[in-house]
Amino acid sequence: MAGAGQRRGKKDDNGIGTAIDFVLANARLVLGVGGAAMLGIATLAVKRMYDRAISAPSSPTRLGQSGKRSWEEPNWLGSSSRLLTQDMKSSLSRSLQTLPTEPSAADTDFCRPTKAKPSAKRSQVELKKSRLRLSLQEKLLAYYRRRVAIPADEQARAKQAAVDICAELRSFLRAKLPDMPLRDMYLSGSLYDDLQVVTADHIQLIVPLMLEQNLWSCIPGEDTIMNIPGFYLVRRENPEYFPRGSSYWDRCVVGGYLSPKTVADTFEKVVAGSINWPAIGSLLDYVIRPAAPPADLTLEVQYDADRHLFIDFLPSLTLGDIVLVAKPHRLAQNDNLWRLSLRPAETARLRALDQGDSGCRCLCLKIFKAVCKLNPALGHLTASQLTNVILHLSQEESDWSQDMLADRFLQALKGLIRHLEAGVLPSALNPKVNLFSELTPEEVDELGYTLYSSLSEPEVLLQT
């Protein structure tokens, strides 16, 4: 074994081989054959490590035929810093200097700090969201111009037709029913508030009743056995002092309460049965006829070849500071209830907020209204419900500038879905009133499903 070590180390060991052979030769005398063998193996390993170290700069690591390290070369050889000679340090330094410095040419995990990666990802996500918002903003504005906005001449023609019909009806009622206590009728609705969308096709003619304040009182719906906030019973008072017949409207009392349905039926007989609308229409150059059922107290007016206007006659009454309208509850068993009129105040607040900061609330509302009007699956959502979603969002967000339209549209959409999931949409003016109280559970589920399905791609709502 000592001879083998001597032959292998004669190349360039600078005398180290001779010293090792001398030690091995004399170790046999001291340690015996077994001890000398163990010492020889250990010494040979040290010598090979030394040989590899001093030959590394000039001769690369030998690879076997399979492309792996030879079993003769330990895997941990290059991991010890103690074996690096000056030449190896120089080579390593040159290799580090030649590493690529451009991010595109280097491994990102090696060249960039680990703390910068989340920031970079966040910036990419924010950039993507910004592009999506800009894209949605452009699509919303294009949808508004293409489908939502009503030409000014169409609005003017519809308003003029409504004014003409209102004047004729007022004259007829004064002549035919002079003892009917009514205040001046007036036109109302989204067409007059510049909130109507798609087409100028409907308007309301408010017919205010005059009630004796000492003969009638309002009972909130939540104080009745029906427990429906937002509706009222109108009770006839003091019958012992003012017997039946003391008021013109006693003829519309059912069970001690003024019935909105009976009041509406009274007007329907006049509007649909007593007025010669074809004659009036020919005089005004319109085609006028009562609308087909179930549209009670509604006139259909054709004022152009392809334009129709529906005029809803809406009796109303005022007791103190409470304004009620004869718009019945959707459930037949509650047809004795008068509806609290919140729409004028809701609209006034919305417009005041927009005027205060030149906001886009009305624009956002009109887009939502058009989406619901053109999508049959969303037809059960009313203008009042959508208005209150915008009003609630206005309490949370202060920036309603025009360039925030896409953000606010998405927020309003998510807010509407949350309210549908809860089954409750409180009125912004009267939180006790649940504006979803007249929807059935099936309708709520259908609305929620349709809107939730559009969250990932809101543009789908604009394709109607």
C-beta of residue 242 within 8 angstroms of C-beta of residue 253: no
Predicted pLDDT at 305: 86
Pairing of strands 257-258, 322-325: unpaired
β-strand partners of 258: 253
State CA 262 to chain mean position distance.
42
Q: What is the DSSP letter of 78?
A: G
What the block records as the tokens of 450 is 């349709």
Distance from C-alpha of 111 to C-alpha of 103, rounded to nearest angstrom: 7
C-beta of residue 47 within 8 angstroms of C-beta of residue 6: no
Predicted pLDDT at 1: 46
Q: Is the peptide bond before 441 cis (omega within 30 degrees of 0)?
A: no
Predicted pLDDT at 50: 57
* Ranges under pLDDT 50 in the chain: 1-13, 56-116
Tally helices (H) and strands (E) across the chain.
Answer: 13, 11
CB crowding 196-206: b at 16 or more within 10 Å, else e: bbebbbbbbbb
C-beta of residue 363 within 8 angstroms of C-beta of residue 405: yes
Residue carrying the six token digits 């208005």: 387
Distances (CA, A) of 287 to 147, 152, 155, 299: 27, 22, 18, 10
